Amino acid sequence: MKTDTTETGNTRATPEVRRQYALVATRLQGALAETVPMPFIVLNTDREVVFANTAAISLFAVDSFEELLGKRPGELVSCVHSVNTAGCGNSGACEFCGNVKAVIGARETGARSEESRVLTERQGRINALNLRVQAFRIEIGSDCFALMYLTDISREKYKEVLESLFLHDSLNALGGILGAVRIMGEQVDSAHMELAHAAAERAEQLIHEVGFLQSVFSAEQGELTVMQEPVQASQLMQDMKLLGELMGCAHGKHIVVDDSGGDIVFVTDRTLLQRSLENLLKNALEASAQDDEVKMGFLRSGKYIHFYIRSRPFIPKHVQAQMFQRTFSTKGRGRGLGTYSARMFVTNYLGGSVSFESSPVDGTVFYVQVPMG
């Protein structure tokens, strides 16, 4: 980190600010500060920067620490309120700023965490920045400072928008498309009937996928509502077979249902259980080769009903060790919610368990156990 404070180009680096830099640097400068991957800055009681680590220099996109010295956070990111007024902290909006609230809170109570939403303007271009600010009061001699850790949470905010707005609106739009396509299918001639059915099938598939993502996000936040209802095990297996045969990965493979478990009726959330079994079935089909058989069945054991999905491929040890981990997948980036969501739904919401066993001789079996109700 370049920390030469003898330059005179920065008029904000007053002698008092430089004195405070030297004071803080005796405590924080060195390997410890530079190996912290999270950006942090130290502010004096006027909220002026008197110290920063290399990660902070990178965050603020400057060439050296000298460019930060003596400036306030809003000025460093070109906040519109600091650009269009007399500086950071001098507009009516600044009292609501997460940065300001974190520093004041830390000064009063010792520590404070806030979210900071900043609208920036650089070279005539507007951009948005979301930061999580964690501030701590530190005292060195008679001087009081605020140590601020800064985390860019912009991707988290995009995820919130995706969950609450985009997926919800997508479901509504797809529902409208599906209804329109079905009406069209009743009115077109036979030459276009197949095309209308194919469009309706794709719309239903998208609705199913979007609904699954909504369920995962809601479940992770503890907001998923469980809807208990009587479920007939044999009928569930037949429905799963039909659903599995519609999957693209099922082409050339055989899904077999063993219904020797009898006519068992139990009480659970059918949607969550079906989605869990569906993901495990899809996982088995994707791993299977042409002409392979994937077998499903169930049996009752005491107060529980056990479902199983058996396939021929053996799961390598390194994959077994990471099974059920979120976003882990052998199929590339953007995958890895299937087995994870199955275990989360069943364990957290259905009061059951999901497990598996795999060997080169016997292949792989996934087990789903849920209470009878």
Distances (CA, A) of 64 to 24, 51, 52, 203, 269: 17, 12, 10, 53, 58
pLDDT grade, residue 327 (50/70/90)?
confident
b/e map 217-247, b = 16+ CB within 10 Å? bebeeeebeeeeeebebbebbeebbebbeeb
Q: In this structure, what token pair is assigned to residue 340?
A: 């994870």
Alpha-helical (H) ranges within the chain are 15-28, 31-34, 54-59, 73-76, 80-83, 98-109, 154-161, 167-187, 190-220, 233-245, 270-287, 317-320, 338-344
| 331 has a pLDDT exceeding 90 | no
> In the predicted model, what is the mean pLDDT of residues 132-139?
95
Model-level pTM? Answer: 0.64
In this prediction, residue 278 carries a pLDDT of 92
pLDDT grade, residue 183 (50/70/90)?
confident
Q: What is the DSSP string of 245-292?
A: HTSGGGTT-EEEEE-TT---EEEE-HHHHHHHHHHHHHHHHHHSPTT-
Residue 191 to residue 195: CA distance in whole angstroms: 8
Closest CA to 209 of 275, 136, 114, 293: 275
In this prediction, residue 85 carries a pLDDT of 62
| 81 has a pLDDT exceeding 50 | yes
34 or 56, which is more confident?
Answer: 56
> How many other CB atoms are there within 10 angstroms of residue 67's CB atom?
21
pLDDT averaged over every residue in the chain: 86
Residue 94 to residue 77: CA distance in whole angstroms: 14
| Strand partners of residue 150 | 133
Distances (CA, A) of 334 to 204, 206, 261, 326: 22, 17, 37, 11
Bridge pairing between strands 125-140 and 111-122: antiparallel
pLDDT grade, residue 238 (50/70/90)?
very high
> In the predicted model, what is the mean pLDDT of residues 24-34?
82
| 175 has a pLDDT exceeding 80 | no
Q: Token match 């077999």: residue? A: 256
Q: List, for residues 199-229, the tens digit of each pLDDT value.
A: 877 777 787 777 788 788 788 888 888 999 9
Amino acid 346 reads V
| 86 has a pLDDT exceeding 60 | yes
Residue 328 to residue 325: CA distance in whole angstroms: 6
> How many other CB atoms are there within 10 angstroms of residue 86's CB atom?
8
C-beta of residue 103 within 8 angstroms of C-beta of residue 135: yes
How many residues are recorded in the chain? 373
In this prediction, residue 174 carries a pLDDT of 74
Q: What is the DSSP string of 158-175?
A: HHHHIIIIIHHHHHHHHH
pLDDT grade, residue 354 (50/70/90)?
very high
In this prediction, residue 370 carries a pLDDT of 97
Bridge pairing between strands 254-258 and 293-301: parallel
Residue 73 to residue 90: CA distance in whole angstroms: 13
In this prediction, residue 41 carries a pLDDT of 94
| 309 has a pLDDT exceeding 90 | yes
CA angle at 88 for the pair 142 and 40, rounded to the nearest 5°: 60
Q: List, for residues 241-296, the tens digit of each pLDDT value.
A: 998 998 888 999 999 999 888 889 999 999 999 999 999 999 999 999 999 999 99
| Strand partners of residue 53 | none
In this prediction, residue 129 carries a pLDDT of 86
